[in-house]
Amino acid sequence: MRVVLVGAGGRMGRAVAQTLAGAEDVTLKARVERPEVAAPVDGGAPWGHDLGAFVARGDVVVEFSSPAAAAAAAAVCAECGAALVSGTTGLGDSEEEGLRAAARKTAIVRAANFSLGVLALRRALATALGAVPASWDVEIVERHHRGKQDAPSGTALQLAREAAERRGYPASALRMGRSGRVGARPDAEIGIHALRGGTWVGDHAVVLAGAGEWLELRHVAEDRTAFAHGVLAAARFVATAPPGFYTLDEVASAAAR
C-alpha cells in the first residue's frame, strides 16, 4: 500500500509517519506540506507542496492539515482515483460537502478522532444514555494543547451530537460554555467546555449528572500514536473499499469480521 501524507510536518503527520514506518505492508510514497514549512533532512520519503505531483491511482492519501487543504485533497483523490483518510477538524459546511461529493467517486474515511479508545467511549456513552433516566444532564469537557486551532474539538462535537440525537434534542441544544447570569440550566441542553493549555494530547470527559449522583466517562490520549494506529487501520480499509463515505465505526466493524 502506497501512502501520500498531507500535513506531514504537523504533530499528527509526524506521528502517522512514525507508525507507517513500522508497518511492513505500507510504503510512505511522499510527504506534502505548505511551502513555508521547511523540509526535514532525514533522507525519508520525498517532500513537496503539490499533492497532485505525487498521487496516482491506487494510492491512499492521509491528511491532517487544514479545512481548505482537506477539501482540496478530496478533489485531487476523486480526480486521480486515490483513496483518502481525512482527519482534519473544524471543517465548514462547504468543505464537508466537498468531501462527500468526492466520496461519490472514491473511497473516503472521515473521522474527527481516530483513536479506537474514543470509538469505545462513543459506544459506552450510547449504552449509558440508554441506562440512566432521561432527566440526567449531559456535559462534556475536553482538554487539548495550547496550539490547537479549533474549539471545541471535533471529538467533543461528535460526542455531543450523538448524545443529542439519542435524546431527541435539536441541534440548538448544544451550548458552547457559559458566561454571565445565564439562569437555570434547561433540561434539553448539552454543555461543551474547551480547555487549552500546555501539551495535552487529547482528553474527553462526558458527565451524566442526576439527582444525588453522577457518572463520568473519560478517555485520555497520552500520545498521538493512539490516533496513528487507527489511521493505519483506516488506510488499510479504504485501500480496497469501493467509493463511499466511511466512518471509523465501519473500519472497526470490518476489522472484527
Work out the number of other CB atoms within 10 angstroms of the CB of residue 222: 10
**Is 138 exposed, middle or buried (CB count within 10 Å of its CB: 0-12, 13-18, 19+)?**
buried
State the DSSP code for 220: E
SS3 label, residue 1 = coil
Angle at 234 between CA 68 and CA 89, to 5 degrees: 30
The amino acid present at 225, given as its one-letter code, is T
Name the grid cell of 151. Answer: 474549539
What average pLDDT score do residues 74-90 get?
96
Which three cell numbers, joined as nine digits, stand for 57?
A: 491511482
| Residue whose C-alpha cell reads 467517486 in the numeric block | 105
Q: Report the amino acid identity of residue 94.
A: S
41-50, 103-112, 160-169: range with lowest mean pLDDT: 41-50
Check if 148 is active-site: yes
Which three-class secondary structure state does DSSP give residue 149? Answer: coil
Q: Which amino acid is at 138?
A: V
Kindly tell me if the per-residue pLDDT of 250 is higher than 90.
yes
Give the pLDDT band of residue 42 (cuts 50, 70, 90).
confident
pLDDT average, residue stretch 187-198: 97
What would the pLDDT profile of 112-131 be if each residue is shown by its tens digit? Answer: 899 989 999 999 999 999 99
* 222/43: higher pLDDT: 222
Identify the band that residue 40 occupies on the pLDDT scale cut at 50, 70 and 90: confident
What's the pLDDT tens digit per position in 146-190? 999 999 999 999 999 999 999 999 999 999 999 999 999 999 999
29, 145, 148, 229: the catalytic one is 148
**pLDDT band, very low/low/confident/very high, at 140 (cuts 50, 70, 90):** very high
One of 29, 49, 144, 193 is an active-site residue; which one? 144
Q: Are 235 and 1 in contact (CB under 8 A)?
A: yes
CA distance 174 to 189: 6
Average pLDDT on 191-200 reads: 97
What mean pLDDT comes out for the span 205-228? 96
How large is the average pLDDT for residues 19-34? 95
Q: Say if residue 143's pLDDT is above 90.
A: yes
Contact 167, 234 (CB under 8 A): no
Among 162, 254, 183, which Cα is nearest to 173's? 162
pTM for the full model? 0.81
CA distance 20 to 25: 9
